[in-house]
Amino acid sequence: MKNAATLPMRVLWNAFFWTYERATWQYDLMVIAILAFVWLTPPDWLNDPMVSGCGPIGWIRTLLKGE
């Protein structure tokens, strides 16, 4: 019987050191998470002085409100 406590640690280890092979669902999930962070993070969260506006989420919110 496998030790259940090692499974979360193994997942974190593989994700941190990017040990998943290409074309696996784990690799695809990590790429999607990275792209979602890059595209959906509001600029205010990163304190970027060169960026103005509220990012894609704020833009979608204003479209849905009809402003």
* Mean of per-residue pLDDT scores for the chain: 81
Sign of CA dihedral 51, 57, 62, 66: positive
Place of tokens 């999607």: 32
Q: How is residue 22 written in tokens?
A: 């290409």
Q: How many CB atoms lie within 10 A of CB 37?
A: 9
Task: Kindly report, residue by residue over 15-25, the tens digit of the pLDDT.
Answer: 888 888 888 99
Mean pLDDT highest for which of 7-11, 23-27, 43-47? 23-27
**What is the pTM (predicted TM-score) of this model?**
0.61
% of the chain with per-residue pLDDT over 70: 91
